[in-house]
Amino acid sequence: MVSDTEEDSGGIKTPKQLITVLLLAIVFPIAIVVMLAQYATGGISVDKNDPTLTDESVAKRLKPVGELVMASDLPPTDANSGSGIVQIASVASTPAASGADKIQEIYNASCAACHISGAAGAPKQGDKAAWALRIKSGIGVLYASAIKGKNAMPAKGGNASLSDDDVKAVVDYMLSQAR
């Protein structure tokens, strides 16, 4: 007579058999996936003479798209040099003009980008209603906001090289446009 325990037991009878089955259950599917990937891609073959695998070509492909260049680092250019480099007024540079021209240049370089379009809630140049609320707070508050920055506006309009007097003159210029 055959015992019931022998008929009911599975094919795994020892811990060694259990470990073997578990390892095969992990390794076998991985091996199948690797073989299918090799079949789908035509296998792995690396040509040592491939020009796209040279150190120079790989470094060129990995090079950043652009790089940060400060306007103060650019060489001086004149219009007739034909070098193709056009120097644009920099936010970090203080205009060399004097008087009203200097104030206008500072405004154009540091303030106009936001105050003409109204970007980030900046009051537009000449918008009397928008400036009226700010004028009510007092000229001292306006000066302090322009010098120290407020909300999205950076200190001194993002041009840290400006003196406090220059910033105050530009605020006065913008207020004259709003009255």
pLDDT score of 93? 43
Of 115 and 25, the structure prediction assigns the larger pLDDT to 25
Residue 89 has pLDDT above 70, yes or no: no
Which one, of 77, 106, 66, 64, lies nearest residue 89 by Cα?
A: 106
Quote the crossing angle between the two packed helices 139-148 and 164-178, to the nearest 10°: 130
Q: Highest mean pLDDT range out of 33-37, 96-100, 120-124, 147-151?
A: 33-37
User: Would you say residue 92 has pLDDT above 80?
Assistant: no
pTM score over 0.75: no
Query: Residue 52 pLDDT more than 70?
Result: yes
Percent of the chain whose pLDDT exceeds 90? 13
**What pLDDT digit, counting tens, does each position of 126-176 carry?**
888 888 888 888 889 889 988 998 888 888 888 888 888 988 988 888 888
3-state secondary structure 12-42: CCCHHHHHHHHHHHHHHHHHHHHHHHHHHHC
The percentage of the chain sitting over the pLDDT mark of 70, rounded to a whole number, equals 82
88: pLDDT strictly greater than 60: no
